[in-house]
A = this chain, B = another copy of it.
Amino acid sequence: MIIQLKEGITQQELAALIILVKQSGYTAQAVSTARGSYLVCLGSLEFDIRKIGGQAGVKDVHRVSDSYKLVSRKWKQETTKIKAGHTIIGGQKPVIIAGPCAIESEMQITAIVTHLADMGIKMMRGGVFKPRSSPYAFQGLGVEGLKLFYKICRQQGISIISEVMDIGQIEQMYDYVDLFQVGARNTQNFNLLRALGEAQKPVLLKRGISGTIDELLQSAEYIFSSGNEDIILCERGIRSFEHAYRNTFDINAIPVLKQKSHLPVLADPSHGIGIREHVTAVALASIVAGADGVIYEVHPQPELARSDGQQTLNFEESAQLNQKLQALQQFIQAFN
């Protein structure tokens, strides 16, 4: 059960409400975000929620039987719109985010920023802390790389999304990103999720390498219940028995996540298939299936990229993908 609290609820009203909830055999956890205040109440007894609805300070009350609560669409019909930098995610128009796997150099950043600006793309991805299976692989340029990334993007009005691997990096990165990315290896790094819940910046949460839909939503619940509603879910392919591609993009996840949660859902077709020439097919499919946007990898010279080159588009392929995405989006809007 989720109790939405009125903005002006008094301490006394809140205390009385919590007592009432607990007397009914439920726990009550207060959650406060930039958008609202809530009591998340767990219990298994029969319960007449109208009893709560009439209490002072209560805006609304909802039954939510899912294992996740605040991120469930059961209590909030409309998709949450999230502002990250200059971009709205979760609105009518699908968003496009692009950029390299890893930030490599000033020249690389500049080239990509220019390419994105040409195409009207407003947000750039680029890792400076890279989670690599091997300790001997390129680990990213770190905070200095991020500052460079930030400087060049600001000049062009491009917003930034970059991956945070560790609680300690949140503060280091805070001033230089518009959207924190949590990677697939950290989807269940619960302490990191809690810390991001306390930071006042939106978070893109990737699905775990073999994470279930339910686990992804519960991980999002960690962020929300720690104080941050601005969460974007991201399907990036799962690990299956099939080794013809890097990952198996789970197109089912898109309509299912959209139905289960009010959070916007992006698709990462680059990791989702891991083969450059098929990124476009997966990107377009995701949009048709209902994704709120795509995030893909682009590099001036993919074959020279320090990581993920085999799944990264060059500028020409990127421009074609964008043109198709724009056309498809117009078609969908006309059609719906």
**Which A residues have a C-beta under 8 Å from some C-beta of B?**
27, 29, 40, 42, 67-69, 131-136, 165-168, 185-186, 188-192, 194, 208-210, 212-215, 218-219, 221-222, 225-226, 237-245, 248-252, 254-256, 259, 272-273, 275, 277-278, 281-282, 284-290, 324, 327-328, 331, 335
Q: How far does the alpha carbon of A29 sit from the alpha carbon of B134 in the complex, in Å?
A: 13
Chain B residue nearest in CB terms to A214: B244
Beyond known contacts A68-B134, A248-B252, A251-B251: 7 more, CB 8 A cutoff: A134-B221, A209-B210, A214-B244, A240-B250, A252-B282, A288-B328, A327-B335
Contact (A222, B135) CB under 8 Å given A241-B240, A282-B252, A331-B331 = yes
Q: How far does the alpha carbon of A218 sit from the alpha carbon of B277 in the complex, in Å?
A: 23
Contacts of A210 in B (CB 8 A): 209-210, 239, 241
Q: How far does the alpha carbon of A218 sit from the alpha carbon of B273 in the complex, in Å?
A: 22
Across the interface, A190 reaches (CB within 8 A) one of B135, B225, B251, namely B135
Q: List 6 A-B contacts (CB under 8 A).
A: A131-B188, A133-B215, A167-B167, A252-B282, A255-B281, A285-B289
